Amino acid sequence: MFYPVSRTTVLLASLASLATLPASAEEQRYNQVSLRAEVSSEVAHDRMHVTLYSEAQHKDPAQLAAATTRTLNQALQRARQAKGVTVSQGSRSSYPVYDDKGQQITGWRERAELRLESGDFAALSQLTGELMQSLKMGDMHFSVSDPVRKQNEDALLKDAVTAFRARAQLATEALGGSGYRLVSLNLNSGGGYQPVMRSAAMKLSRDAMPTPEIEAGTREISISADGVIEVQMR
């Protein structure tokens, strides 16, 4: 007698057949070792960033805004005359000032920022000293430009691969292998700032404005090679 077989029965039978396949159906990998190699170099900062600001208080918010605008416009006009300096306006904010009880507004306070950037440290340092006659310094920091960073990372990439291969050979010899096969390799860039600066110090001269004394410092550029090798045993 013929008994019909449902699709569900066929599917379950197929799954059971797959479950009984030998483990050797999948490639077995033995003697795998994870390794990491890192190379780095010190790169001098080639960009200088300065943030200056105007901050004042007045009972009349309109007069305060007008005075802040005049101060900022004068600084912008002077900054735009400096060659090789990128000039941009930062944040600007105004808020009320209350009495001791915190109930009545006694005045208004306003702050406006001016941001400067340049690869010419001497020019930006001189400009900063001049502008600090009417503005205050909020921040000074240094960075490595993208082209310089990429150039150094490209130079380190080959060294990172060479260092990884040396470690792979050492691991192979330590395990008593005859050679190794590269399973995977990832190259990553990184680095941390190691600034050396005295942005608050001033050099005073009779013939010049007070100028910040600059020591830009360096940044460590690094490339790491993370990978897995499979050691071939004798």
pLDDT, residue 13, reads 40
Helical segments of 57-178, H only: 61-80, 121-131, 146-174
Domain covering 29-46+144-234, topology? Translation Initiation Factor IF3 (3.30.110)
pLDDT band for position 28 (50/70/90)?
low
Predicted pLDDT at 210? 57
Average pLDDT, integer, range 26-32: 70
216 confidence band (pLDDT: 50, 70, 90):
confident
Alpha-carbon distances, residue 170 vs 123, 177, 182, 199, 231 (angstroms): 52, 10, 14, 47, 11
30 versus 204: the higher-pLDDT residue is: 30
Does pLDDT of 193 surpass 90?
Answer: no
Which amino acid is it at 142? Answer: F
Spans of all domains in the chain: 29-46+144-234, 48-143
Residues 169-177, mean pLDDT to the nearest whole number: 93
> Rounded CA gap, 231 and 234, in Å?
10
CATH code at 48-143? 3.30.70.360
| CA count, 13 A, side-chain hemisphere, 120 | 11
User: Which of the four pLDDT bands, split at 50, 70 and 90, describes residue 7?
Assistant: very low
pLDDT recorded at residue 187: 93
Q: What is the mean pLDDT of residues 69-98?
A: 94
- Tell me what pLDDT residue 212 has: 59
- 144 in Cβ contact with 219 (< 8 Å): yes
Residue 27 DSSP class: P
Q: Are strands 105-118 and 85-98 parallel, antiparallel or unpaired?
A: antiparallel
pLDDT score for 84: 93
Instruction: Tell me which of 39-48, 88-97, 119-128, 215-224 is least confident.
Output: 215-224
Asked if the model's pLDDT at residue 4 lies above 60, the reply is no
Report pLDDT for 69: 96
Output the pTM of the full model.
Answer: 0.70
Same fold, 29-46+144-234 and 48-143: no
Is pLDDT of 167 > 80? yes
Tokens encoding 209:
């404005």
Q: Which two tokens stand for residue 35?
A: 């390794």
Give percent above pLDDT 90 in the chain: 71
